[in-house]
Structure formats: C-alpha cells, structure tokens
Structure 1
Amino acid sequence: TLGARVALVEKRALGGDCLYTGCVPSKTLIKSARFAHEARQTQKYGFQALEPKFSDDSFASIINRVQNVIEIIEHHDAPEVFEKMGVEVVFGSPRFLNSGEIEVALKDSDEKRVMRAKRFCISTGSRPFTPPIEGLKETGYITNEEVFHLKTLPKRLFVLGAGAIGIELGQAAPPSDKKSFTGSIMSKAVRPRG
C-alpha cells in the first residue's frame, strides 16, 4: 500500500467480473470447446476420428468444470490476501455523505459504518448493458452473469455484443447438431431502428 492506509469496499465478491462472469469462465468454456474441436481432428494424425456429443448431461459437466475452475482461482482474490497487504476489506454498499466520508451499509447486516478518507478511488466495474431493442424483454434473454450457470444446453445462442466476452462466447459455442447452440456476434455499431 506504499504506506497509505487503504480500505476496499465491495458490494458483491472480490474478483468481480473477470473471475465470476468474464475472463475465467469464458476461457474455461473455450478450453472445453477447443478440446472438442481437437478431438474431431484426430484422424489427421492417424487416429480414429472422434465426435464429441453434446447433451444436457455433457453440458452440465462442462458448466460444473467452469465453476470448479472459478473455485480453484478465487482464493487469489480472498479478503485475507488483501488484508495481508494491509488493505482493510469491507463488504457492503457505500454512499457518499460528503467529500471526505462514506457510509457503508454492511452486507448481511443492518449495521452501517462511516469511513473517512482524503482520497476515494471509484472502481465500480460494470454490469451488462441491455440495449433498448423492441421485443428484447419478452425473449427471456440472459447476460454473461447468467450464462455460466445454465443447467441445460440451449438449442441456439445469439450473442449480442462484440466485446471480449461476447466474442469468446461465440467461439465456445458447440457445433451444430440436434441440441447444440450457435454463436452469432452483432457489432456494437448496430443501432436499433426508431
């Protein structure tokens, strides 16, 4: 902390987007897709061709693997890691009282705590943006916050958004067969009509 007293206020979980709904689960899903792709290529190397089958059971196993990888990595973002570096970790929802104070509604408690500082660094991350597209609300859409918790293999998956996670989800989509989903990517430049 370079000698400064530092407190980190987190509303949800340390590790945030990358660990739970972004980089880590997305790249783990891509690894499974890559393995399936390579299995189909074995004939090129003199082996009998393999054809991985995607079913709800295999998809559930892939999603379980994604969650297991998250569990393996999440200890690197545990509060104890930050506390060993001299950072106080506080879980809750903050609000500014004035330019030098915040009030934190502590998570899993009715208590509030006032914290004072000379400087505040706001690093809130982001949440999925739902574009104002006519009819979208009625589709039962999911975001990157839900996709890595699906229990069954979607028949189709249309990925709206060409950010890193959107492109990776498109790459990880299983190939076409009876129960597979297909990944499509729509540019951020596309605007709804009207």
Structure 2
Amino acid sequence: MKKFILIISMLILFGCGPAPDVSEKVVWYPKPKDVNAFELRDQYGEVVSNQDFTGKWNLLFLGYTSCPDVCPMTLLKLTHVYQSVKSKGDLQVWFVSVDPNRDTEEKRLAYIKHFDPDFKAVSAEHSALFPFVRDLGLIYAINQEQTEEYYVDHSASVALINPKGQLEAIFKPTHTAGAVPTIDDKLLLADLEEIIN
C-alpha cells in the first residue's frame, strides 16, 4: 500500500497522470514525440509551421482532393468530431494533401469548404512533405505511372498533436471486409475526450 501511495504521489509531483482509458484503435504515446521543424502552405498560401500546433489540440489526416472514397468519408467524420468538441476546447483539423502536383491552393480551398472552412488544407513539395508525414508515423506513395487520373496511396489513420506541438496519439481506421477503411467518429470522439481530459 505504501508503494502504491508513493507512486501516485510521484505522478502528481511530476505532473503525470494515469494513462487514458482509450480503445484498441488508439496508439497513445506515454511520452509524446516532438515533431521536427517543418514548413507547409495552407489553402490561402500562408506558411504554416510547428508554431501553428501550439496552444491547440490538432487532428491531422492525409489525403488528396481527387480521392474517391476514404478522404471525403474521413473528412465528413472529422467534421462531426470537430463540431462536437470545439466548444469544449481548442481543436484544429488539418487536411494534409499528399498530391501537391494537382492540389493547388485554390483547389484545396474549394475542397475544404465542403467540410468546414475552419479546417487547414495544407501541402508542400514532396521534399518537405514526405519527411513531415514520415515524422508523424504516417505514409503515402504515388503511382509511378502518372496519368491524369492516378491514385495516391496514403494512411487512413488520424494523428493527434497536443498543444505543445508533440505527437500524442494515432487513431487507427476500422477495417471491415468489402468496405473502405475509415475512422469510427464516435469512437474517435470518445477516445479524444479521454485523452484531452
């Protein structure tokens, strides 16, 4: 019993708490990971960097505007999550386009307005984009046979960056036979609130 009280006292002393009670769809980092310095551009042509993470919780999702299924479905679910929690604290949603050749600022701006104009729709040349995505533990790949209608393979997970600008968690999609892998918005919302609180 004394050992238990000592452990709890140390956790309180060092500002630590117990691990959040999250679902099996979450990879939670007990020690959040710093995100390397980056520069991307948003849908208005403004430079965004690590500074834009600070002070808010951030949900990041990879995609591209020509995506036929995963991207619009996930962004619709993230819209629901955003609308459900934005009154309880600061939350930003980032749509990270991994198709910079086709997804111009104008195209990203028009696309993101279908979901929520408050969302950031960012991208960059692959030389800056790929290291940023890899640093978040996510991936993407473009088919080498680049016709006008090429597809981009990308993670369907959603990364969570904490208000200190660190990678806090990854929300994994649900995989069901014959269905497109997407996040479960109700589960993500419950897990997010557990982590934030």
Question: What TM-score bracket applies, with the shorter chain setting the length?
Answer: under 0.3
Q: Which has the higher contact order (CA 8 A, sep 6+)?
A: 2
Richer in helix (by share):
1
Richer in strand (by share):
2
The structure that has the greater radius of gyration is: 1
